[in-house]
């Protein structure tokens, strides 16, 4: 019984560490995806405008 309890505790701490790393990775991934979305929106806005605006940027 004590053996099971120990293994349960150790797996619990590992899961906590994994979830903590997951939240960090999720935050980084989320911010990256948000940045990518902003770039896409800006690109679409400039694409809708006359070609002169696009040529000025490029």
Taking only the tens of pLDDT, the chain with its 58 residues reads 555 555 555 556 666 777 788 888 889 999 999 999 999 999 888 777 666 655 665 5
Q: Residue 25 and residue 48: Cα distance in Å, rounded?
A: 34
* Residue 48 confidence (pLDDT): 75
Q: What is the widest separation between alpha-carbon atoms in the chain?
A: 75
| pTM of the full structure | 0.47
User: How far is residue 47 from each of residues 3, 36, 58, measured CA to CA in Å?
Assistant: 64, 16, 12
* Residue 19 confidence (pLDDT): 75
């Amino acid at each position: 019984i004590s053996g099971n309890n120990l293994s349960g505790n150790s797996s619990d701490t590992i899961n906590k560490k994994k979830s903590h790393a997951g939240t960090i990775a999720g935050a980084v991934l989320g911010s990256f995806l948000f940045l990518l979305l902003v770039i896409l929106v800006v690109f679409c806005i400039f694409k809708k405008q006359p070609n002169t605006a696009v040529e000025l940027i490029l």
